[in-house]
Structures are given as C-alpha cells and as structure tokens.
Amino acid sequence: MGSNDVPPPHVSPLYPAVSSLFMATGGLCYTITYILMVQQSLRDRTYAMPLFSLALNFAWEIVFSLYVAEAPLEKSIFVLWMVLDLGLVYAVVKYGQNEWAHAPAIGRNLGKIMIVGVLWCCWALWAVCSWWIDEAHPVNPKSGKVYFGVDGIDTTELGYWTALLAQVVLSCLLLAQITVRGHSGGASYSIWATRFVGSLAGINVYYGYCWYAWPEAHGYVMHPLSICFLASWPVADLAFLAVLREVKKNEVTLKDGRKTRRATLDTNNHIKVLMASSDDDEDLKRALAMSLEDAKSSPAAPIDLAESDDEEMRQAISLSLGDSANDETALPASSGSTLPPSSQDSLYASKLPQSSIASQEHVATSSQSSICSRTSGLLGLDRKAMEQERLARVNKRKRSASPERPAKLATRASSTTPTLDASNPAREFAPSGIQYPRGAIKRTWAYKYPRMNDIKVEEVLQASTLNIAVLSAFMTDDQWIYTKIDPEKIKQIWIMSAKGQEIQDEYKRQALAANVPNLKPHFPPMDGQIMNMHSKLMLLFHDTHLRVVVPTANLIKFDWGETNRDPNGESWQPAVMENTVFLVDLPRRLDGDVGRKQDLIAFGKGLMEFLEAQGLGNKVLDGVLKFDFSATDRLAFVHSIPGALTESCANRTGLPGLANAVRKLGLEANSLLLDYAASSLGAVKGSFLKQLYAAAGGRHSPDPKVPKDYLERVSIYFPSGDTVQKSNGGPDCGGIITLGRRDYNEYFPKQCMREYKSTRNGVLSHNKILLVRGQKKDGKPVAWAYVGSANLSESAWGSQKILKSGKEGKLNIRNWECGVVVPVSDEDLVNVDMQDDKLPPLDVFKNTIEVPWQHPGAKYGDKEPWFFRG
C-alpha cells in the first residue's frame, strides 16, 4: 500500500526509502512475533492472542491479501502472516479449552466461534474496504495517491485506520487476558519486545514520518481520534509488560508445560485445616474453630495441636509448604508447626490441585526465627513461617526423608518377601481390560523392592482406556496425578474435604480460575459434627468395565511407593511407605440398560448407599448402575457415613454396618482373633475394642457373648519409635503415622500393642487392615479381611453409648470412611485344623491378601510406640 505513490516535488527524495525501511522493520518484527507466539502457544499448551484479536487480524490479512494489496511483495507478506495465523488458530482449537473451564460451552465450541468470528470480521473489513476504494466515490481522495493506476484512492490511510484499530484492540485485549489469567501462558518478554517494536515502527513511526515528510497527504495522523489511538496502545502495552513481570513471579509451570497462577486452588502445596477430629482435645477444637474465623478477626496466640488422634495432617503440612510446583520434599514429620495469626491475603499458595486437601490432623507449635516473608494461606496459615520452621528443624537432624545419596546405600529390599502369586495379573494383557472380575487385594508397588503380588498406580488406573475417573482421597497431589491421568483427555471428579459452605464455594471458584479441563470438585456433606472426608475410593469408568478401587493410600506419590528424584532426575532412595489396594472389575450389563439399585446385591447396594450419601449426581449413580455386580456376591462394601445416626440408619454404617456385612456373608463367629494394622491410633479404650470384637463376630454391642479376655484376642499393629527411626526415610517420614503421647495413657489397652515391621525391611506402613479369624457355632473355621480407609478410632467407626434403658443410643461418626470385607475362600479353609478349639493360622490368608507385616509381631514390653512429635 502506497508503493505506487507519486509524492509532490517538495517531498524529500528519501521519502520512499525511509518510509519503506520503517514499514519493513515493522513487518519483520511482526513476522517474528507471530512465530514466537505459535511456539509459545504450543509450549504452554494455550493460545497467545485473544480470540477477537486473532479473528480480526486473520480477517485483516485475508481481505488485504486477496482484495486490497496491489504489489506482489505486499501480497506475499500478508499470505505469510495468514499462514502463521493458522498456527495461532490451531493453538486455540487444540488448547483453548484449558482457558475456558469456567465456561465449558465456549471451550467446547472454540473452533466454531473462531470460524464465525473470522467470517464476520472478513465481511466487516470487506465492506469498509469496498466503500473506501470505490473508484467512483473514493473516501478522502488525495492527489499523488495511486491505486491500480487510479489517482486519488488512498489505501495508505485505509491501512492506517484498520491496522491502528486492530492494534488498539490487540493491546487492550492482551492486557485484559493476562490480567484475568494471572499467568504468562502464551506470552514472553521476547514476544512483547518484537510486537512493541513492530507496532511502533510500522504504525507510529512510519505514519508519523509520512505526515512529517508529506503532511497534506497524511493529515489524518494528527486527527484527535488518531492521536488517542496512537497513545492508547503503547500505554496498554507498557501496562502489559508490568503485569507480565508480576505474574511471572507468582505462577507455576505444570509438568505438561502449562502455566497457572500460584494463587489458585492448590491440592498439594497448600493445607486446609477444617475442624478437629480428636475425641478428647477440646483445645484442638477451639484452635481449629478459631482458624476458621474471618481474616479480620483478632489475632490469637498459637495453639498447641499436638494431641489430635487423627492421622495425616503432618504429611499434609509437609506437602503444603513447597515454594513451587517443582519443589519436591520428602514427607517430613517435623517436630511441630505453628498456627500463627495472619491475614488471609491469599487463599491458595499454588496452582490448582496441588493441594493436600487436608483435614485437621496434627499441628504443633514451634518457634524459629523467620527467614522467609510471610505468605498467608487458607484459613490464615502462615505457610512461609511454617516452612522456615520445618527447614530449621530438618537441618538439626542427621537424617531426612530424602538425604544426600550415600556412597554405600544399596536397596534395602527384603529377601524374605513371600511370593504369593507367581503370575502377576496386574501385568498380564487383558484385551477387554477386565483383570479382576472377582476382586483382588494387592500391595502397592515399592521402588527398589522386588515385584511380587503388588500393583503400580498406573496399573490400577489403566489410563489408556480410561474415560471418567471419580477419585476420593484425604490428600491429593495434582501434579503427580496429572502425570498419570491427562486432564485434557479424561474427565475427573475429585471428592474433596471442605467444611463450611464458604470454603467450598471458594474452592469451586478457585478451581474454575485454575482452568484445569475436565475437572469437577465435589464436596460431600460436612455439617455438624462431621470432621473429615477420609475415605479412599476410585471409580474408573472404561468402555468395557467399571473398576472399583478401595486403597488405603492417598493420591500422593509416596503412598504408592514412589520417591523423589535427585537433581539429575533419578530416583535412588527406596520406597518409604506402603499401602494396600482392593480392586474389582465390573463388566457392562449385557442389556446396556441402567439397572435398579434395589436389584443390586450387597456390595453394590453398599457402594450406591455411600455414593448417594456423599451427594454425587445422578450421572455418576446411573453410570455405576450400567455395570454388572453379580460377581461381587462374596464381597461386602462397608462404610462410615458421619453424623448422629438413629437406629434405622445406624444399622447400615460404622461398626453396626460391619456387623451386618459379616452376617450377610455368613461369617458370624463366636471365638475370634483380630489383627488390626493402623497408621493412626486415637484415644483407644477397651470398651471400643469390645464393640469392634462384637461387630467382627457379626453381633451388635452390647454383646454378652464377648469373652472376658477379649483384649488378649486383639492385636494392634503399630510401629515403635525405634522402627520409625530406622526406616528408609527416618523419622521425617513418620508424620502420617500418629499416636498422641497423651492418648497412650492408663486407659489405653497397651497389652494389645504389637510391633509393626514390614516384610519389606525399612518401609513404613499406611495400611488400614483388619484380619479376622474365628470359629463358627458349628466348629467350622472362618476368616476374612477388611481393607479400607478406617483407622482404629471411634471417629472412623463410630461410638455408641448404652442408655440407662439398656438400649443403644445414637451412633456418632465423625469421618467419611469406606472399605471392603473379603472372606477367605472355603477352599483355603477346608484343611484347617480346628480341633481343641484352635483358630485358623494367619497363613490362611495367603491366597486372599499378602499380609504385609512380620507375624507374630513382638509385644511392646518396655518399648514405646512411635509418638507424634509435638
């Protein structure tokens, strides 16, 4: 445009060369800008140019290349830009949905929106251009301006107004886009520099020089509207630079390259204290209640939270304190943390789901001088101060969860790990994807230990054929999960713990702001006395089957046997934690219909009852009913639905629900042996163990048939302090194994305590396993295993007082829990010697569950258990 102009004699002869130089500089810079934008979009898995600006730019290049441009060089430049714009459009279609999680209808239809937008902009620009260059009535004709041999038609001014308008729109929308996103996805300093220089040279300087050299043909440059536009876009671009600088300080780069703001929902690097779960600690309840007050409330002194009876806050705290998404620390169990008063400046300290959606576990006070600036987190937790305290304590210790690579360290795998299954179904290829039609119990894989009857999380998920995943866990590491399940391909519902509507609404808002595709947070009821959403459950929907998974593990790498990597990207330290997983594959119904709940057998009814109680929508419930539960006839799904429950409801959940499940499976027994492995012990009392003993026999409490020596028949497997100290990760990995020293008092049934030592030497346990062996009325043996989320506490199983009338009062449960009862098969019991009132030996479980601890466990004697370090 303007290449055929004939300037009057007073115009400098250098005009064509100088103006062409400025225009060429602008064109070159913009070409580089487009290339960089495409590269950055693909790298960050987003789109760089706002939708309307991209549609307008694309249309501008289409119309000017095909309709307005006169010289071949001009046409070729516009065509080049069109081709590069295709890369930007591709990024919108490919990754645009990531940025529209808050408006899924737009995200799903970005391709159509782009087509409509480009077509409309083409129409509008063609209308303007055809009006402007009409040979009969050209707009604002000028002598010396020549277009296809016609004097007077000024395409230079046409290009000026249309390009300047597009530039103002682009600069303003880019500023709005980065402000709303809160991260630099699709942007960089290089892109800004080339775009700014290109726009400055190609518009302001080029047209400014044209006006200076040939004012009568370019007087429009000094029009008030022109000056407004010429000043507006640089201001917007400079503001963009300032915002870009700030967001880069507070963003997180995901492992797939995407970026997100640090101040969004964080399910691993942040902690959420909800309410106390302790049975006895009123101070803890008050402290946590205070933490839920509005940020403007008066400061309070730190509260000692060391004596809680629940389990995983310590790990949640340690996971929550990383400064960046890439900061991987092992599971510390520091000697204390502080709940300091602080303003609620930022509810979340990292990107979405990196949060341990942790409930109230153990937080202890500690006073260390702060070396980090205070960063307030959810509910007023000072994350920076807490991290500083943790690091100071760790520096005082010789061991850490991931110490420097020792020269002599070799794998400490146990040479005595039994081989329970020579074949490994988890690694066999099953064309239908159905591997466990009758259900199976597996140990979690452990890095640097021999693979036996174990399973990796990848083998559990079967991500290559996974369509929808419903995931429930007490703690969740989103970045780790994203390495296993691609959120762009697999729809996910995360059942999360959040007490209070305000907190739940904030989580939902932050989840939308995080722009993670296909992710829906769900919150079960948490009103009244309900404290924790502690259940671990996966519903994995595939084309051929539904895999129901009940692990004892949270959704964090350490629970699944993985460890951190050194600076070279290598994992060297053996696993520090192990868990157990139950899983069963349910085929689709042959009729393809949605079944009826009332037609389900016990396992299906228990599962559906739990899902309904958690408030999952009809789509999930109907989806579950599309699968065949008939092969689960030998299993029972047991749960703890929290609240103060009357008899009609109480009989189906908690300890009464366990008793009902035992009866329905025909597992009632009079004489029993109980082995309970737990990762957390509360203020356990003999009366509670008596209720557990009765329920394990299929009877409700109070039960006069419970023998007087029942405490001698119950073994509680829990690690001693010495075992934790000598474990692979040392005491810093003992944080999720909790028992308060105050709870280990004269009322605690200490005679039941047994040393928990894993058959994988050096590995700690996060298992919740109950093994029951007994004798039926007819003298036949019986044995079954419980695997699930419930620890040995009244919060998990419920407490029920006996009224003066002799009847049972309300069942009070504080936690959401779930698990599975799996009987030992008749074939494995047929040869058991039951003479002289003998009970089945523990090896009767060998084909049902690999018992992960060394048995019989040594009695504690003078040893002390591992205490929570407060």
Neighbours of 545 (CB within 10 A): 24
The whole-angstrom distance between residue 732's C-alpha and the CA centroid of its chain comes to 24
Q: Pairing relation of β-strands 454-455 and 440-444?
A: parallel
Nearest residue to 211 (alpha-carbon basis) of 193, 223, 195, 224: 223
Please pick, among 534, 542, 545, 639, the residue that the annotation labels catalytic: 534
Residue pair 645/823 in contact (Cβ under 8 Å)? The answer is: no
Could you give the CA distance from residue 336 to residue 334 in angstroms, rounded to a whole number?
Answer: 5
Contact 190, 242 (CB under 8 A): no
Catalytic site residue from 183, 270, 545, 766? 766
How far apart CA 26 and CA 392 sit, in angstroms, is: 54
Q: Is 270 in the active site?
A: no
Residue 339: what residue type? L
Cis before residue 551, ω within 30 degrees of 0?
no
H helix or E strand, kind and range, residue 455:
strand 454-455
Look-up of token digits 């895999």:
547
Task: Tell me how far apart the alpha carbons of residues 584 and 420 are, in angstroms, rounded to a whole number.
Answer: 19
Q: Could you tell me which residues are beta bridge partners of residue 305?
A: 363
Please give the backbone phi and psi of residue 522, each rounded to the nearest 5 degrees, phi first: -130, 140
Q: What angle do CA 542, 543, 548 make, to 5 degrees?
A: 30
User: How many CB atoms lie under 10 A from the CB of residue 609?
Assistant: 18
d(CA 330, CA 328): 7
Helices (H), 625-706: 647-650, 654-664, 686-696
Residue 715 falls in which region: left (phi positive, over 0), alpha (psi -120 to 50) or beta: beta
Contact 627, 546 (CB under 8 A): yes
Measured from the Cβ of residue 465, the count of other Cβ atoms closer than 10 Å reads 14
From the centroid of its chain, how far is CA 81? 40
Chain-centroid distance, C-alpha 275? 21
Q: Is 484 marked as a binding-site residue?
A: no
- 534 catalytic residue (yes or no): yes
Rounded Cα distance, 491 and 697, in Å: 41
Inter-CA distances, 526 with 359, 611, 819, Å: 11, 14, 20
Per-position DSSP letters for 415-433, written without gaps between them: TT-----SS-GGGS--TTS
Q: Which of 676, 864, 861 is nearest to 751 (CA)?
A: 861
Residue 866 carries which DSSP code?
A: P
Closest Cα to residue 822, out of 794, 849, 853, 795?
849
Q: Which residues are catalytic?
A: 534, 766
Give the residue ranges of the annotated binding site for substrate.
Answer: 536, 768
Give the residue ranges of the annotated binding site.
Answer: 536, 768
